[in-house]
Amino acid sequence: MPPLKICLLSAEMVPFAKTGGLADVAGALAREFARRGHDVRPFLPLYRAVRGAGWRFAEVPEAAQVPVSLGGIRYEFSLRTAALPGTDVPAYFIDCPAMFDRRSYYTEDADEYRRFLLYTRAVIESCQRLGFAPDVFHCNDWHAALLPLLLRTVYGWDRIFAGSRTVLTIHNIGYQGYMPSTALGDLALGANEALLDPADLARGFVNALKTGIRHADAVTTVSPTYAREIRSAPLGAGLQDALRARPDEVVGILNGVDYTEWDPRVDPYLRAHFDPAHLDGKAANKRALIELAELAIESGVPLIGMVGRLTEQKGIDLLIEALPGFLERGECAFVVLGAGDARYAEFFDAMGRRFPGRFAFHHGYDEARAHAIEAGSDAFLMPSRYEPCGLNQMYSLRYGTIPIVHRTGGLADTVTPFDPATGAGTGCVFNDYDATAVAWALDTTLDWYRDPTAWRRLMRNAMAEDFSWGRQILQYEALFERVAAAGRSNA
Ligand code: ADP
Ligand code: GLC
């Protein structure tokens, strides 16, 4: 097979812009595809924070002041480029201040959907001007999910895309890109409006992710279990019928881990490095974390970490029920890092006030602290209501930090329940999404912790797991090659 030409659309990508795992995965995909010899070109919006972050962007003369009209309003964008650090992959940025010069990457502004519609159109317009004819447009999440339809309709005349095919990857079906009736004018599909979902159309709205599911040549998601879960309610979040109506099934490809960023042998954020044969370093990191979080505990007290976006998805509602009683018993301490919904931040703040020295909450986004928590905690809690893949539990395993997870999505695919009788397994997995189950899981983990032999075994099992991208990328590659081959034979 000749190398693939891949246009990668993602609203986030490390190291440029990140709020969650999408950024890690988009960055890793770009690197891994390039490493395998493919011509991969990622496209991102040029957000205000990215513009001000000191990257050196070059102008792209072929795509300067390009006009794009949405619903009668004329916008203009210019393309910028910078190499993805450590690679020669050209990352491209859509510079359109009217849309992206805002205080955050995502907004609750009324034109949120138009921002990403403009982004999607601008990516296609850029490819035309660069003379770049992708074999595969890889569209990630709702932000890019209108591309498959736009490519076949608004841009259907352009022969440059005759052989191009589209793959949609769903990182989170909970975010769908709901567009009000004014979107129809913005999309300007003309008679092709009939290609939108008829029931939604009758009610006067457009669902970006559903549109992508209906028109992409292939749909993937980020773990095999989540791929099964979203084919029915409730985790399909209303899109289960659209998924089942496709001729092919949604493919679950587990995310990988970038072990150049997340490995206790080399992690620059750590006080001491460690590996399964040298676990003393782990204890040094626990002491460092106790200091950083200003906890008042002895180093023998079990310490449980959490890092994540504070949203309903992450299962914090269960903790509101389960944690106070659990902490009353005074058997362990918690260190939590997260940014997001105010009500969850208030709960964690209140826990910090009620259990000073034993419950530490840091509100915000903090890369260094995330690494310190992975390295210094004994266990890592992810009680997610649903979790398409989840990266933190995989990071935890590598750091010998025992994951405590709800059996859902990628958590179910990456953590195997520990059985003290056989010594097999890597973490604690609870089945029911309720407070009793979380409390059981915390108790069980503390029981294991009190038995140093069992705990050491558990740590070694966890650290021996390997979720590197080397294997996962081959699944993407095989899928993209299959899709591209169909495109080439039609072109
Ligand atoms: P999601 O994408 O749903 O947020 P993942 O587990 O896939 O969940 O990925 C989350 C990523 O974002 C991890 O790399 C995690 O370390 C990082 N992260 C989340 N919240 C924070 C935060 N407040 N500070 C630093 N890193 C964070
Ligand atoms: C989403 C999901 C998370 C997944 C990440 C990367 O943000 O919530 O589970 O790991 O995307 O695919």
- Regarding the beta carbon of 307 and ligand 1, being less than 6 Å apart is answered yes
Does 29 have pLDDT greater than 70? yes
Terminal-residue alpha carbon distance, the chain: 17
Query: pLDDT at position 488, please?
Result: 80
- Regarding the beta carbon of 172 and ligand 2, being less than 6 Å apart is answered yes
Query: pLDDT at position 204, please?
Result: 87
What is the SS3 assignment for the chain?
CCCCEEEEECCCECCCECCCHHHHHHHHHHHHHHHCCCEEEEEEECCHHHHCCCCCCEECHHHCCEEEEECCEEEEEEEEEEECCCCCCEEEEEECHHHHCCCCCCCCCCCHHHHHHHHHHHHHHHHHHHCCCCCEEEEECHHHCCHHHHHHCCCCCCHHHCCCEEEEEECCCCCCCEECCCHHHHHCCHHHHHHCCHHHHHCCCEEHHHHHHHHCCEEEECCHHHHHHCCCCCCCCCCHHHHHCCCCCCEECCCCECCCCCCCCCCCCCCCCCECCECHHHHHHHHHHHHHCCCCCCCCCCEEEEEEEECHHHCHHHHHHHHHHHHHCCCCEEEEEEEECHHHHHHHHHHHHHCCCCEEEEECCCHHHHHHHHHHCCEEEECCCCCCCCCHHHHHHHCCCEEEEECCHHHHHHCCECECCCCECCEEEECCCCHHHHHHHHHHHHHHHCCHHHHHHHHHHHHCCCCEHHHHHHHHHHHHHHHHHHHHHHC
In one letter, which amino acid is 144?
Answer: A
- Regarding the beta carbon of 177 and ligand 1, being less than 6 Å apart is answered no
- At 100-153, the pLDDT tens digits run 999 999 999 999 999 999 999 999 999 999 999 999 999 999 999 999 999 999
Ligand at shortest distance from the CA of 395 = 1
Measured from the Cα of 388, ligand 2's closest atom is 9
- Regarding the beta carbon of 222 and ligand 2, being less than 6 Å apart is answered yes
- Regarding the beta carbon of 308 and ligand 1, being less than 6 Å apart is answered yes
CA of 142 to the centre of ligand 2 (A): 13
Query: pLDDT at position 477, please?
Result: 98
Does 322 have pLDDT greater than 70? yes
| Atom 10 of ligand 2: nearest residue by CA position | 390
Query: pLDDT at position 182, please?
Result: 85
- At 327-340, the pLDDT tens digits run 999 999 999 999 99
> How many angstroms separate the CA atoms of 282 and 452, rounded?
14
- Regarding the beta carbon of 174 and ligand 1, being less than 6 Å apart is answered no
Query: pLDDT at position 486, please?
Result: 87
Mean pLDDT value of segment 238-245 = 97
- Regarding the beta carbon of 176 and ligand 2, being less than 6 Å apart is answered no
> How many angstroms separate the CA atoms of 216 and 250, rounded?
11
Mean pLDDT value of segment 161-180 = 97
Measured from the Cα of 25, ligand 1's closest atom is 7
| Atom 9 of ligand 1: nearest residue by CA position | 21
Burial of 256 (0-12, 13-18, 19+ CB in 10 A): buried
Domains and CATH numbers, the chain: 5-256+470-490 (3.40.50.2000), 280-466 (3.40.50.2000)
| Atom 24 of ligand 1: nearest residue by CA position | 365
CA of 22 to the centre of ligand 2 (A): 6
User: Phi and psi (nearest 5°) for 202?
Assistant: -60, -35
Tell me which residue has tokens 């840091």: 362
| Atom 4 of ligand 1: nearest residue by CA position | 20
Ligand 1 pocket check: which of 106, 391, 415 to mutate, most ligand atoms within 8 Å of Cβ?
A: 391
- Regarding the beta carbon of 377 and ligand 2, being less than 6 Å apart is answered no
> How many angstroms separate the CA atoms of 192 and 236, rounded?
26
Q: Residue 187: which of 260, 268, 89, 121 has the closest Cα?
A: 121
If pLDDT is split at 50, 70 and 90, which confidence band does 421 have? very high
- Regarding the beta carbon of 20 and ligand 2, being less than 6 Å apart is answered yes
- Regarding the beta carbon of 14 and ligand 1, being less than 6 Å apart is answered no
CA of 488 to the centre of ligand 2 (A): 31
If pLDDT is split at 50, 70 and 90, which confidence band does 347 have? very high
If pLDDT is split at 50, 70 and 90, which confidence band does 487 have? confident
Ligand at shortest distance from the CA of 394 = 1
Measured from the Cα of 339, ligand 1's closest atom is 23
CA of 78 to the centre of ligand 2 (A): 30
- Regarding the beta carbon of 282 and ligand 2, being less than 6 Å apart is answered no
User: Phi and psi (nearest 5°) for 180?
Assistant: -70, 175
Query: pLDDT at position 491, please?
Result: 66
Does 52 have pLDDT greater than 80? yes
- Regarding the beta carbon of 20 and ligand 1, being less than 6 Å apart is answered yes
Does 1 have pLDDT greater than 90? no
CA of 267 to the centre of ligand 1 (A): 17
If pLDDT is split at 50, 70 and 90, which confidence band does 489 have? confident
In sequence order, the 6+-apart residues with CB closer than 8 A to the CB of 203 are: none
Ligand at shortest distance from the CA of 367 = 1
CA of 192 to the centre of ligand 2 (A): 32
Residue 272: count other Cβ atoms within 10 Å of its Cβ: 15
CA of 19 to the centre of ligand 1 (A): 7
- At 433-474, the pLDDT tens digits run 999 999 999 999 999 999 999 999 999 999 999 999 998 999
- Regarding the beta carbon of 11 and ligand 2, being less than 6 Å apart is answered no
What is the overall mean pLDDT for the chain? 96
- At 352-405, the pLDDT tens digits run 999 999 999 999 999 999 999 999 999 999 999 999 999 999 999 999 999 999
CA of 384 to the centre of ligand 1 (A): 13
Does 490 have pLDDT greater than 90? no
Mean pLDDT value of segment 174-183 = 92
Query: pLDDT at position 181, please?
Result: 83
> How many angstroms separate the CA atoms of 144 and 274, rounded?
40
Mean pLDDT value of segment 221-236 = 98
- Regarding the beta carbon of 21 and ligand 1, being less than 6 Å apart is answered yes
